[in-house]
Each structure stands twice: as C-alpha cells, then as structure tokens.
Amino acid sequence: MSDGAVSGSLTIVGLGPARAEHATLEARQVLEQAAARPARVRAYGLAHVRELVAELAPGLHVRPLDYLYGLPGVDRPTAYQDLARMLVRRAFDDGVDVLYLVAGSPLFINDAVLLARRLCAARGLPLRLVHGMSFVEIVLGRVYWTGHRGLQLYSAWNVARDGVLLSPEAPALLCQLGEFSSGGDALDVAGSRGLLAELRDRLATRYPPDHPLVVLSSSGHPDYHALARAVSLGALADEEVPVYSNLWVPPLHADATEREVAPA
C-alpha cells in the first residue's frame, strides 16, 4: 500500500452457522447497504455464504472463493494466507470497499480472518469485524454443558495428530471431526474413519473404551437441525461421520449432566 490516505475499507462479516435467521441485525444491515452500492463494494465468500446472501440481500453479487479448495498443489494454509493478503490489497491498495463474508463467527477457527486482522494491525489499517453466531451455539444445543469445569475447544486434528492432550477433568468439544488431510480438506466422508481411528487411539490413553461420546452434526440444508449420535469411545471409528461434524467428550469424573444427550 502507498503511504497516502486509505480510500477503501475491509469489513469481515460473520453470517452465522447455518440459516439466514442466524445472521445478526448488524450483518443484515451491512449486506443491504452493500447491495445498494454495487459499483463501490466487492463482496467475497464461499458457496454457503452465497446462499445466505441470496436470502438476506438479494442482488448483492458475491464473488466465489471456492477456488481456494481446488487449486492443485496449493494447500489450505497457503490459500488462506494468499486470500488474506489479497483482501487487504484490494481494500487498501486498490481503494475498494471489501466485504469478506464468512459462515459462523469470523473469530472461530478461520485462518484467513486471523491473518487479515494481523496484516491490518501490522500496517495500522482499519478493519471492521461484524460478529456472527458460531457453530458452537448450535452443537451445544444437543448436550448439557454446565460450564462448571470450563470447556476445551480443539479441532479433532489437534488431538489426533498434533499431540494435544485433553484434560479428562473438563468437557471437550472437538470440531471438524471429518477432517482427514493436513491441509484441512474434508471433502469426502469416506476419509473420516482414518482420522476417527487415530482420535480414538489418542483418547484411549486418557479415557476408558466405554467412555460416552456424542457425535454432533447438521441435517444440512434447509433446516440445519443439530443431530446427535451417542457412541462409546471404543466404537468411535466404526462409522463414518459427516464432513464438519463435532465430537462432545464429557469429563471423566463428573455428574451425569454433561454425559446426557439433549433432545432436538
């Protein structure tokens, strides 16, 4: 960027985890204002986000970022880094009002957002965050989290392959259960059982085989109901799980509340 005045802007908008109704009033207002200024605003997002925008702000063109997952030889960390740099360049070098639209909360496990925030901070550039409801609210609806012992939040990959050890005294929510590549690709549920087997073996160092777990997933479009399936640790890898499922791991020594599955 030149050292001159900043003429563009970068706004990162969380649209919530599933249905259009999950978007905040602020997010809706940002989208509607953008739709009214098509010549000035460029919006970017993935397929799910585009579906939401079609409901929330018809007429707002969202440029598709789906290519991030399909370039040969480009892993996800590299793609996210490139995206963050591109968004910052577009906004503050090219003087465009940029909207980066993300599912869920921008602050939950979103590398591109994290990088964009750090790039802006390092250069003293303004960045607006419009918060969104995260996937955690949805998945916690099918269990009873007391909050008395805290909550451990990791990706399943962290535990299965990065050496993260859970504390058995606190409940854990392991997200992106269907992931099975180091790049974070989770495009085929058939690959999920390999990661599940590794996760099972890692958890077995701290929990007994009959420790109760809950696989939490979504029914998908259009209702996005939270689905829950109880499974013992020993049987964790017996069935595939949908892409982007989550795993609830109750604490080892706790009352029964955090071991129960809540009704839908």
Partner 1 sequence: MRDQLFSRRTLWGPVRKLLQARLAHALEGQQWSRAGELMSLWLDTWPVGAAVEPALSAWLALPAAGDLAVLARASELACAALGWQTQPGTPWPQPSAAWIREQVEGRPVHLRTRGPDDGRQLVSAALGVEAAPEEVDLHLPAVAELPGEALVARRAELAAALVRGELGAVRLTTPLPPTPAARLALAELRLEGDHQRAFEAWGRAGLRVEGVATWSELLQAAPAGEDGPVLQATADALLAPGTPGSLRRGELADTGWLLWEAPFSPIPVHPVAVACLRALDGERDAAAVAAEVGGPPDQVRAVLAELVQLGAATAT
- Which residues of the shown chain bind partner 1 in the complex (CB under 8 A)? 42, 44, 63-65, 67-68, 71-74, 78-79, 82, 86, 89-90, 93-94, 96
Residue 170 CA to residue 156 CA, distance in Å, equals: 16
Among 18, 26, 11, CA closest to 52 = 18
Instruction: Report, in Å, the least distance between residue 220 CB and partner 1.
Output: 23
What are the C-alpha distances in Å from 238 to residues 40, 90, 135, 178, 232? 52, 47, 25, 13, 10
Instruction: Report, in Å, the least distance between residue 79 CB and partner 1.
Output: 7
> Considering beta carbons, is residue 21 or 94 the nearer one to partner 1?
94
Query: How buried is 82 (Cβ within 10 angstroms: 0-12 exposed, 13-18 middle, 19+ buried)?
Result: middle
Instruction: Report, in Å, the least distance between residue 115 CB and partner 1.
Output: 14
> Considering beta carbons, is residue 45 or 106 the nearer one to partner 1?
45
Instruction: Report, in Å, the least distance between residue 60 CB and partner 1.
Output: 16
What are the C-alpha distances in Å from 22 to residues 45, 46, 134, 220? 17, 17, 9, 14
Instruction: Report, in Å, the least distance between residue 111 CB and partner 1.
Output: 15
Q: To 5 degrees, how large is the angle CA 197–CA 246–CA 73?
A: 70
> Considering beta carbons, is residue 28 or 89 the nearer one to partner 1?
89
> In a 3-state reduction of DSSP, which class is residue 41?
strand
> Considering beta carbons, is residue 50 or 90 the nearer one to partner 1?
90
> Considering beta carbons, is residue 90 or 202 the nearer one to partner 1?
90
